[in-house]
Every structure is written in C-alpha cells, then in structure tokens.
Chains A and B, each alone.
Chain A
C-alpha cells in the first residue's frame, strides 16, 4: 500500500470528502415550494405530418375527404364513432331517482338557450362532427360521414352549414392538405359560438380566445396553450365534461389539479382556502371578460314585429339581456349535478333549475364555484307541467311561421311527448361554470372581494353562520352540530 504510486489520489479524495460532506449536509437547499412544476404535466404535442402530397384532391364533398382520410387512418373511424363529439350522447349513467340508467347528450336534452335539437337537426348539426345529420335517422354507424376537417382544419377557412355539410366556397382539397392538430380556432369554431353566436352561451368562451392576450386568459394568452393541452385526448376521446349535457362528470373531467398542486400558493393562508373554494372562484374574477354574454332570454316575447338588435331583441328568439364583466354567482358544487330530462314534470310557480348542482357546505368534496346563471322563459305544457321542445328550424318551424302552437305540436311529435294544446312560458335556470378566461395571478381576487361588508359571497345562502374570517372555516372545531 505504501508504495502504490497513486495513493495520493486516495488521500485527496478523502480530504475533499471531509470538506464536502459537511457542506452538503449543512448548506440549505433552495427553499422548495411544495408546488410541483406544472409544466411536467402538460402533454407533449405531436409533431405535424405534411399532408400536401397525401391529399391530392380534388374533393367535391366532405365525405370524399373522409374516405381518403380513412384509407390511412382506418382505426380512427371507430375511435371517433365511440366519442360524444360523434354520438352527441353519453354513456348510460345511473341517476338516483330514476329507475333506468339514462344516456343523455346534446342529442336528446333540453336547455334554456335554443332549447333542443330534436326536430331542428339541419340547423343545429352545423356543429356536429359529421355530415348530413338532418333527421332522426342519421346513420351513426356510417364512418364516411365523419367530419375530420372540422377539428383538424389547419387553415381557418373550413366552415360548416346546415346539416353539417361544408359551405359552398370551402376549398376542401386545400383544407385537407393542411390538416393539423386541433387548435383554438377549430375548437372555438363551434364552442365559442354556442347558443347562436359569439360568446352567447358559456360566459367564459368567446372568439377573443383565438388570439387572447395574457390578461384575457393566462394559459391560452400568456402561454399559448391549445385547448388540447388541458382537454387531453387519447384515441379521440377528449377529456372534459360539460355539466349541461353530461351526467357522468366524475370521470374524464378536466381539473386545475391535473397540472397545478393545490398548495401552490406561497402564502399558507391561501393554500387553506383550497379545501372549500374552487380555484376558479379567485382566478376567474369576472365572467365575459371580452364580449358580452347572454344572461337572460325571454322566449315569450318572440314573434313580435319590433326593432331588432342581436343584443336586445330578435323576432325569432325574443328579448335578451347581455352582460359583460359580470360578477359570477357562487354555489357549492362537488362535480356532480342532476339534469332535467324531457318529460320530467316540474312546478311552474318556481323557477326550474335544469341542472341542479350537488354539493353543500357539509360535503367535503364540494367547493364554492363561480357560475354564470342563465335565466330564461321557455315554452312548457301547462296541463302536463313539462317543458316542450319546439320546432324552430325548417318548414312549420317557429322561425318560419311564428306559430308557437304549431311549433310545439310538431316538436312534441318528434320527441314523443303528449302535447295538450295549452302552452305557457316557465322560468328556467341553468348553471354554466366559469373556468376559462383565467386571469393572471396578479389579478386574482383579493381578500376584500369576499370577506368585506359588500363581499361577493352570501354567507348565509352558502350555509355559513357568518364570515369564516371571523367564524372559522366550515370544518372548524365546534362547528358540527
């Protein structure tokens, strides 16, 4: 050992170790915040493939394009046909209070905007991911009717019309050659214009999200997120559940928690809020940040010859109230809600809540969540006390003949509801959660917004005895009965 030539290396290492080890032990690492890095959870975007040589064209109809797509993407057909973008109907869900599991979706529910698609298919299915759904007999097993381009249009020039067919002027070959992964413009082509126009329906989605500023939406503006970065897709199954057309909202839902940890605030007091307050409550301080959204729709005034204005009155639709920068309403919500279905009876002297939220102050899974509440008056059968499906589009529809009785009769036939001939207008409410148009952190709500005299939260209505800043939170000691 003594004569080993490189013994000095050994000694050097020991000496350095004696110095390094205490340094490593005693030097504090950087203060680790308990937040995970959200970027770790953002899905990887697939690189694009050049389809110019692959889609020679010319294509007369959308179906031709689809057939060409399916030559390579054969399995895609079955994937898509399994999804709700195609079927417009969810999987069967057992709902308490109903004897049979229900399969609901846009195909067969009523809302309090344009009310329902049944009997109105050719007008409503311009947003269907398929071609030619103009009647109840659409063949959902015909894969050539899948519309690939509505989501995969990379040009911004693809527009659909009645029954989902592409409009006359669209150059299908050009679109087909420039397909891309779905972006904000393609998703938004339908989802920003719900309810009949830009920004009408959701309250947190409008065309400004195609190219938003950072102040409009921190993810889509500040970080250039695509819809699919949060609404992750696997085999064309896109995550996310609308609580107005879905009942199985427990699985497949998108959550802030998918990327952000709930303890990601530097301030501990803010972290304790996440047990009772949804992220959106503080981080979506107002609804309809950019374009006004429809807050009230009175169908009963439709049909009159009055001066028209798309934000106030249209003969075909009735009178409306639009609001921008509105303060949301706040309710407990645990992720599940019930749903008014066609044929359900209700008490017309009370507003009918079409998607009653589940959750309460005593439910540990529930959080206080911001909602746009859309209130409307819509036709119902005064004898049977259920809502009616009017035919609005096409021959005999209300938008052609302005005859409610006829429209309701035709619609009732289609949905197989017994129409007594007596109709009235009932007040209905629908809850639309606000979860897009997330403000940058520096614009989040401050304590004063809720915990002040004129705060946003009605503590009594939420079930609190008083302001939790004074009383303690809902799970504070001594608060249980």
Chain B
C-alpha cells in the first residue's frame, strides 16, 4: 500500500511537472514577431504640376500693383489651407501652445517655459526669452524673432501672441516683453512698433522653392524688417530685387495675367538643401569637394553632432581628415543612395508614407489602403513631421517616435547571419551603435559662457580636431561617439551613440535664471574691448592680450572677481552652473565594411562601451556639470578629472544593467576561483611529490592482483566524451571570459564552439542519466548512509597518510562497487549539483536570446554569468584533483588505462571493510 501511494503521489507530481513544462514550451513559442511590411515609397521630386499663381500681399492685392511685401498666407492660402497648415505645425508654433511658468516642465531647467524653440533656453545661443510678467528683460518677442528667427519658419510666435492675438494688434503695455525690445545702446527697454515692422508669416518659400535666398532672409530678420523677410527669400530668383532698403518687383518675372512665371519660381517638395537651411550641413554636389571650417555654433546642428549629410566620399572632400586616403566611404550611405530627408521625416498625413502605428492597427491588418486623397492632402498637408526620439530634441513631444525606424525598411534577417545572438544584439543595442561607429568630422565639446570673447560669444572647444579649428590646416581626427543607454518610447533601453556637449554659464537668483548677455558684456567689456581689471586677472602670460587659452576661470580669485562684478550689478546668489546635453547621433550611417563587425570592439577589456569620453577641457570654478533632465538617456557611469583639469566620463555596464561577455567579470569570483584552482594544483603537487619520494624510499608491497573488467563500453564512452567536452568548454569559456588574453582566437567562433560543445555535453549527460537510472548503475553513486561517515574518514585517512606508507586501499574496488565514499560524495555533487547548475545557467545565458523573459526574471546575465564563471572554476579545480586521484590505483596509470580499455587490476587483500562487514 505504501508503494502504491508513493506512485500515485509521484504520478500526480509527474503529471503536473510535464504539463507545466509543456505550457512553458508553448508560451515561449509564441514569442515570435511578425514584421509588418511597409508600403512602397515613391520618391517625389520637383512637381511639374503646380499651377501658375499670383503673388499677393497681406491685403490680398497682387504685389505688382501694390508693390508691397508678399504674404505667404494670402498667396499660398489661395489654394492651400494656409491657416490649417500654420496651426498644425510645430515648425511654426515651436511650443507657444505649451508655454508654462518657468521650471514647470518635467525635467527642464528652472527657467525654461516650453519644450520648443520658443521658451526652451539654449545654452549655446544664450539669449533668454523673457516670460510675460518677468521683471528682468532679455529677449522680448521682437528680439526673439531677430535672434532665433533665423531657425524658425515663421508664423506661430513670430506672428501671434500666446493667446492668439496677432502681434500687430497688441496694446503697448510698459514692461511687456511682447512689445518691447532692449535698446542695444542704452540697455533700456523701448517699445516696438509692430505695425511698422510687420510680423513674420510662415515662410513657404524657404522650404518649397528650389533656391531660396536664406542669407537675405536672415538679414531682413536681423534688422527687424519682419514683414519683408519672406519677400527677401525670393531675392535669388529674379522675381524681386533689392534697391537700397526697399524691394522692387520685377514685372518680367510675371506673365500677362499677373502670375509668376514657372521658370522664375519652381514650387517643389522640400529637398535636402531646403532642410539644410536650419537643420545641418547637406552637401549634394559630388563634383565639388566639401570643406567646412571650425567649431562654429552658427551651423548648430552640424557642430553639435558632427553629422554631415552628403554622398561625397570622405577621400574626395577638401577637408584635412586623418587617414583621408583610406576613407573611400560616403559621409552618409542614405545620402549616397539618394534618400531625402522627407523619406523618413515625412508629413504625418502624407498618403504615400504615413501608416497607422502598430499599437492601434488591428492584428488582422498589415496595411490599410484607405487613406487621404492626394488632393485633400495637398489642400491640408500636416506640417507635423515624423520625428525620432533623439535625446536633444524636446520639440514636439507629442510626435516622438512617429518616424519609421531602421527596421521599417531594413531587415537583419538576410544580412546579419554572421552575427551570433543577433536578436539579443538588436534588443540591447540600437542599429546606430554599430552602423555609426565613428564620426569623421569634428564636433562641439563644450561651450563656456562664464567668460565671453570680445565678440560677445562664449568660448568653445571642439572634439575631434587638432590645432586651431579655424585654420584649414587643422587636422580633423574625428571622434568615437559615447555609448549610453537610451530609453525608447516603449520603455525598452538600448545603447545608442551620442555626443555630449557641456556648457557652463552664470546663473543668479532663486529660482535661478541665466545671467543676461548684456550683463556679462558690462562686466567683461567696455566699448568692444576687455576691461582693464579683467585683463589683469585673466592675462596669465602678461602680454596684455587675452588669448582664447586665457579665457578660463580656473582659480577662485578669478571666479570671485566676476562674481563680485555681477553682484555689483544688483544680481544676487550669483554662481556658475554647468550642464551636459547629450545629442543623439542618427545620421552619417555606414554600411558594409565600415560598420562594426568585429566582436572584440565591445567584447573585450578595451570595449567601446566603457571607453573614456572627454566631457570638458576644464571646469570653470571647479563646477561639475550635470546631465540635463529632459533627455531620454542617463549618465550610467563615472566622471573623473584628469591631471590637466579636464573632465572625462566612463560608462559602467553594471550601472546600466548590462553584462557584456568578455568585458565584465566579478572580481571576487575570479579571485576565489583562481585561488581554489591554484590551491588544488599545489596540493596535488605536494601529495604526489610525497608519494614519489616514499615510493622511491621503500620497497613496493606485493599484492595479489586480479584482472577485472571494470568499465563497460558505454560507461567509457560517456566518460571520455564528457571529458573532452568539459575541457573544451572550460577552454573556450576562458577565452570568452578574457578575449584579450587569447587574442589569437576569433571571439565569434569560440562562442559558437562553446555552444555546440555544451549541447553535446547536455545530450551526453541526459543519455547517461537515463542509462544509469535504467540499469540501476546510479546506485554506485549514492552513498550508503549507514556507516558512511566512518568509511569516509577511513578513506580520507588513507589518502592523507596510509598511501605514503604503501598501505593497502581500505576499500576493494569491484564492478558492483567501484566508488569509495569520498568519490561517491564528490561525483554525486559534481554530476547532480554542479553540472546541472552549470547547464542551467549556461542554457539561460544562451536563453537570454531565445526566451529573454525567463533569463531576466532570474537576474539576467549580470547574475547568471558570474555564477557560471564560479562553477567553471570549481570544475577546473575538480579536474585537477580527479586526474590526480586516478593515479592512486595499483600503478599510477592503472585506473586511467582501465577507463580506456575497461580492464582494471585490483589488489586482492584482506583488510577490506566489505569483508569486515561480511
């Protein structure tokens, strides 16, 4: 009855276990992604279909008749819903609809008032948009248009107040920044006549014509001539010309009906050169070698990341690049393949490109063909453009990640079969990490506003360039972007490449705000030259001039001087603040051989992930900069100061929750394991040495030998197969753990060999377990509890003493009982504890790719991998001990020979404790 109960209990338990296993298997099988196929895209070029149209001024009259400035709202608005376009465009609104009190946005600075260009302070541009109601005036709306207008398409804050009132209808209220400007001579607020200056309407021509004259437009904005800014954009086309301060429309450019001739003005989809007006350097012309100079924030987007959108091969440029001859790759492979900005950054209701997002699309639908009619789209095109989720772009937060990603067009299936664990790689690192391994141009490293130059700018420092950045002879060495974890919109974290730009500036007050440029100017400069006391304080080489290298506040005295002067202006709590802004790098993509394919780039001690990255050349006032709070990355690592005062950053995989094979290791485990291994090695050397010594000294005992067939064929096969695989696993495992030490081997192949050997070992072990269970041989490994300790101690005493005296083995080895108690307990632990643990941790490490959920729930690689390493050390120690102990047979090689051919030579003697028992 007892047995039946037992079986029933087991049966239920077994059934439960099997069911659970099947369920688990089934669950893991459903973790398969079906890729949605994207709609095919057409590359739209300059449209020949645009009808002829007249240019109208803001009253709706033809400009030829009135001679007035062209109004894009009236002109383009005659056919397109210009009001709709302007109202639905972050390019235009730039956050005016999201204006808050200073510091209310999550993660923003204490003085930011919106996430867009209208309200988010730029530490590089430095001028601060004064919030309404603020007492200290820096930039009012007219000033904002003059300063930030160049990078703004018009409309939105350039035409309306936050409450929607047109700017030219605002009442002049003293102290209202919307209607006042600081007089550059007196520093006092004076009223701005919006009626006279006009406002800046959304400038269609800037993006939608073939050759907009951006220079003229910028001039117009800088001088406050807002009404004519859009007209100025047409200057290059011959439709209008500038005579002194006024503009003349050219009747030749118009036909008899008053429409602009098609040859004079071609309306087109924006091409890369249109976007380049604000968004960074584009160089389409293959025949002209590209040259850029300096570290100039005027081309902000280019200099903050070092990205250049050009198909030109680096070796064909006119830049002094390091190793230029070898760089026969284009700057950006997508530019080379003739993609344009709008192929990825498309208008969100463009019927050709836009697709419903994965989240809202029903499962049964791969592609929904019902979409906006082309005509309807042209009437009301959303000027909300798809964007990614870069760290530095806080604009249009509601549009984050609307852009198609790399995997919307590219598949790694066909092309990345050489990469082991490719799904795991894709999960842990972004495509850009390997496909933008290096930036070949220079980029901004820091911008220091704690001192200003004589031109009233901050002091910049670039990375990736040696020598004076403004001289064409400077050597452009480029830089490797720093890899930081980026939190994606779906809460997944991936490593991605960034450039970090640190900025330092004076703030005052509580809540804090940046010190105004005009205050800095009155502290440092008088009539465009440095004040005498400033020169005395900063001039370290005593030549009476302040060179760029001397414009540093690197001592408390200097800091105190400036602090005092600022406080004398009436500012309180004056202090230096520093911030680090990460800039995502997503362009200048490389393909083929230029992308990273060398495993040791990350899987080695000198991994790219943990390379130090310079943050700043010096820390003004010793202030350490802090990461900004509104980016989607975090400084997962440590900062350190070098001897020359520069600040460096080194990422830490542990903080990031990553365990990178070949790079990461838990020191104490390696130390402990090594200690145990060496200890065992020493121990067996001493023991063996003593045996040799004693054997040489004394006469060998004569024992009666019996030749016994000890080990069957299968047993031996199992044993040696296990031996070879375990030794192979230990060897390959060591190479994976420390790839630098064994640079000879290819990391990729070693990983694959390790996995294959592991599979062989597991199958071998499983079959052997079955054999042992089915044949009952398992009994040999199970120590008999009764008398176990006595026998174990006897055996131990033999090894520690008796063996040197040539005593007989306390235990006679027979085919029915091959293992002494110490062997039993050791093998039992090895085969039933350590081996399964090693197999399970190893399988889960492999399973980090196959079933990441289970692996992560058990701690993920950061837990499993060190555990695996520890057991590996123990196995290594075991092997040393085991091989040595096999030499304790009749002759040293007897037992090994027995395991090879099965025949052992057993000493027959009288003091076996079997006999005692019997």
Chain A: residues with CB nearer than 8 A to chain B? 2, 7-8, 11-12, 14-16, 18-19, 22-23, 26-28, 31, 266-267, 269, 442-443, 446-449, 451-453, 469-470
Complex contact B756–A470 (CB within 8 A): no
In the assembled complex, the Cα of A447 lies from the Cα of B728 at a distance in Å of: 49
A269 to B336 CA separation, bound complex (whole angstroms): 13
Whether the Cβ atoms of A446 and B286 lie closer than 8 Å is yes
Question: Interface code B745-763, partner A: CB below 8 Å = 1, 0 otherwise?
Answer: 0000100110011011000
Question: A469 to B720, Cβ gap below 8 A?
Answer: no
- Having A269-B337, A442-B328, one finds 15 other A-B pairs with CB under 8 Å, namely A11-B713, A11-B716, A15-B720, A15-B724, A18-B760, A19-B721, A19-B725, A19-B757, A22-B756, A23-B757, A28-B417, A446-B286, A452-B284, A469-B43, A470-B43
Q: Which of the residues B591, B720, B725, B752 comes within 8 Å of A28, measured between beta carbons?
A: B752
Residues of B within 8 A of A451 (CB): 338
Restricting to B270-292, which residues have a CB under 8 Å from any CB of A? 284, 286
Closest-by-CB residue of B relative to A24 is: B756
Task: Give the docked Cα–Cα distance between A453 and B210 (Å).
Answer: 12
- Check if B785 is an interface residue, CB within 8 A of chain A: no
Closest 5 CB pairs of A and B: A442-B328, A8-B900, A448-B311, A15-B720, A448-B286
Of B315, B336, B760, B900, the residue contacting A19 (CB under 8 A) is B760
Structural contact, A15 and B717, CB atoms closer than 8 A:
yes
* B327-351 contact mask (Cβ, 8 Å, vs A): 1 or 0: 0101000001110000000000000
User: If the complex has contacts A14-B717, A19-B721, A22-B756, are A8 and B338 also in contact, measured as CB distance less than 8 A?
Assistant: no
Q: Are A447 and B336 also in contact (CB < 8 A) when A8-B900, A19-B725, A27-B752 are? A: yes
Most chain B CB within a 10 A radius of its CB, from A7, A269, A447, A452? A447
Q: Are B336 and A448 in contact (CB under 8 A)?
A: yes
A110 to chain B, nearest CB (A): 38
Query: A446–B330 contact, CB under 8 A?
Result: yes
Chain B: interface residue count, which band?
A: 35 or more
Q: What 1/0 flags go to B709-736 for Cβ under 8 Å of A?
A: 0000100110011001100100000000
Would you give the shortest CB distance from A15 to chain B, in whole angstroms?
A: 5
Residue B261 is within 8 A (CB to CB) of chain A in the complex: no
Q: How far is the CA of A447 from the CA of B716 in the complex (A)?
A: 64
**Is the Cβ of B756 less than 8 Å from the Cβ of A15?**
no
Given A16-B724, A469-B43, check contact A446 B749 (CB 8 Å).
Answer: no
Q: How far is the CA of A414 from the CA of B324 in the complex (A)?
A: 61
The answer to whether A11 and B720 touch across the interface, beta carbons within 8 angstroms, is yes
A50, B591: Cα distance in complex, Å: 52
Would A27 and B330 count as touching, CB distance under 8 A?
Answer: no
Taking a contact as CB atoms under 8 Å apart, the answer to whether B286 and A27 are in contact is no
How far apart are the CA atoms of A265 and B193 in the complex, in Å?
A: 65
List chain A residues, Cβ under 8 A from B752. 26-28
Query: What distance in Å separates the Cβ of B513 from its nearest Cβ neighbour in chain A?
Result: 48
Taking the complex as formed, is B313 at the interface, i.e. its CB lies under 8 A from any CB of chain A? yes
Asked if B311 contacts A446 (CB within 8 A), the reply is yes
Interface residues of B in 20-55 (CB under 8 A from A): 42-43, 45
How far does the alpha carbon of A384 sit from the alpha carbon of B43 in the complex, in Å?
54
Give A222 Cβ to nearest chain B Cβ, in Å: 14
| A469 contact set on B, CB distance < 8 A | 43, 338
CB of B286 within 8 A of CB of A15, answer: no
Q: Is the Cβ of B336 less than 8 Å from the Cβ of A446?
A: yes
Residues in B whose Cβ lies below 8 Å from that of A16: 724
**Interchain nearest-CB distance for B886 vs A (Å):** 16
Point out the residues of chain B lying under 8 angstroms from A23, CB to CB.
Answer: 753, 756-757
Q: Are A447 and B311 in contact (CB under 8 A)?
A: yes
- What is the bound-complex CA distance between A267 and B592, given in angstroms? 8
Q: Are B725 and A447 in contact (CB under 8 A)?
A: no
Expressed in whole angstroms, the Cα–Cα distance for A22 and B752 within the complex equals 11
Contacts A19-B757, A19-B760, A26-B756; A266 near B749 (Cβ below 8 A): no
Q: Is the C-beta of B901 less than 8 angstroms from some C-beta in chain A?
A: yes
B760 x A11 contact (CB < 8 A): no
A452 touching B338 in the complex, CB below 8 Å, given contacts A14-B717, A15-B721, A19-B721: yes
* Contact (Cβ within 8 A) B313 A22: no
Given contacts A7-B901, A447-B311, contact A27 B749 (CB under 8 A): yes
CB–CB B756/A31 < 8 A: no
Q: Does B418 contact A (CB under 8 A)?
A: yes
Write the nearest CB–CB distance from B652 to chain A, whole angstroms. 33
**CB of A264, distance to nearest CB on chain B (Å):** 14
State in angstroms the CA–CA spacing of A88 and B418 once bound together: 55
What are the residues of chain B within 8 A of A7 when measuring CB–CB? 901
Q: CA–CA, A388 to B759, complex, Å?
A: 84
Asked whether, in the complex, the Cβ of A18 is within 8 Å of the Cβ of B721, the reply is yes
Residues of B contacting A447 in the complex (Cβ-Cβ under 8 angstroms): 311, 336-338
Q: How far is the CB of A473 from chain B (nearest CB, A)?
A: 15
* Contact B724 A28, beta carbon cutoff 8 Å: no
Shortest A282–chain B CB gap in Å is 13
- Could you tell me the distance between the alpha carbons of A281 and B336 in the complex, rounded to whole angstroms? 18
21 A-B residue pairings within 8 Å (CB atoms): A2-B902, A8-B901, A11-B713, A12-B720, A15-B721, A23-B753, A27-B756, A28-B417, A28-B752, A266-B592, A266-B593, A267-B592, A269-B337, A442-B313, A442-B315, A446-B313, A446-B336, A447-B311, A449-B286, A470-B42, A470-B45
> Measured between alpha carbons, how far is A26 from B754 in the docked complex, in Å?
12
CA–CA, A451 and B340, complex, Å: 13
Q: In the complex, what residues of B have CB within 8 A of residue A446's CB?
A: 286, 311, 313, 330, 336
Could you tell me if A11 and B284 are in contact, using CB atoms closer than 8 angstroms? no
| Chain B neighbourhood of A442, CB < 8 A | 313, 315, 328
Q: Which residues of A contact B417 (CB under 8 A)?
A: 28, 31
Candidates A2, A27, A448; contact of B338 at CB < 8 Å? A448
Chain B residue at minimum C-beta to C-beta distance from A470? B43
Q: How far is the CB of A6 from chain B (nearest CB, A)?
A: 10
Cα distance A447–B902 in the bound complex, in angstroms: 71
**Most interface-central of B337, B725, B759, B902 (chain A CB within 10 A):** B337
Among B45, B286, B725, B757: residue with most chain A CB under 10 A:
B286
A11 to B45, CA, bound (A): 72
Which chain B residues lie closer than 8 Å to A18 at the CB level?
721, 760
Render B438-450 as a binary contact track against A, CB cut-off 8 A, 1 for contact. 0000000000000
Give the CA-CA distance A26 to B328 in the complex, in Å.
36
Output the nearest chain B residue to A267 by Cβ-Cβ distance.
B592
Residue with the greatest number of chain B CB neighbours at <10 A, chosen from A16, A18, A267, A452: A18
Q: Which chain B residue has the least Cβ–Cβ distance from A440?
A: B328
Contact A22 B716 (CB under 8 A): no
- Tell me the bound Cα distance from A27 to B45 in angstroms: 48
A218 CB to closest chain B CB (Å) equals: 13
A453 to B43, CA, bound (A): 13
A127 to B323, CA, bound (A): 46
A27 surroundings in chain B (CB, below 8 A): 749, 752-753, 756
- When distances are taken between beta carbons in the complex, the residues of chain B under 8 Å from A8 are 900-901
Residues 295-310 of B contacting A (Cβ, < 8 Å): none
Closest residue of chain B to A30 (Cβ to Cβ) is B418
A445 closest partner in B (C-beta): B286
Instruction: Across the interface, name the chain B residue whose C-beta is closest to A466.
Output: B45
Query: Which of A19, A443, A469 has the most C-beta atoms of chain B within 10 angstroms of its own C-beta?
Result: A19
Whole-angstrom distance between the alpha carbons of A12 and B716 in the complex?
Answer: 10
Minimum Cβ distance to chain A for residue B684 (Å): 25
Residues on A with C-beta less than 8 A from B337 are: 269, 447
Residues of B within 8 A of A26 (CB): 752, 756
Collect the chain A residues with CB atoms within 8 Å of residue B900's CB: 8, 11
How far apart sit A12 and B337, CA to CA, in the bound complex (Å)? 56
Give min CB distance, B714 to chain A, whole Å. Answer: 11
Which residues of chain A are near B43, meaning CB under 8 Å?
A: 469-470
Per-residue contact bits, chain B 476-515, to A (CB 8 Å; 1 contact, 0 not): 0000000000000000000000000000000000000000
User: Does B418 lie within 8 Å of A28, measured CB to CB?
Assistant: yes
Q: How far is the CA of A442 from the CA of B900 in the complex (A)?
A: 60
A470 vs B45: C-alpha distance when bound (angstroms): 10
A451, B286: Cα distance in complex, Å: 12
Residues of chain B contacted by A452 (CB below 8 angstroms): 284, 338
Closest to B720 in A: A15
Q: How far is the CA of A20 from the CA of B458 in the complex (A)?
A: 66
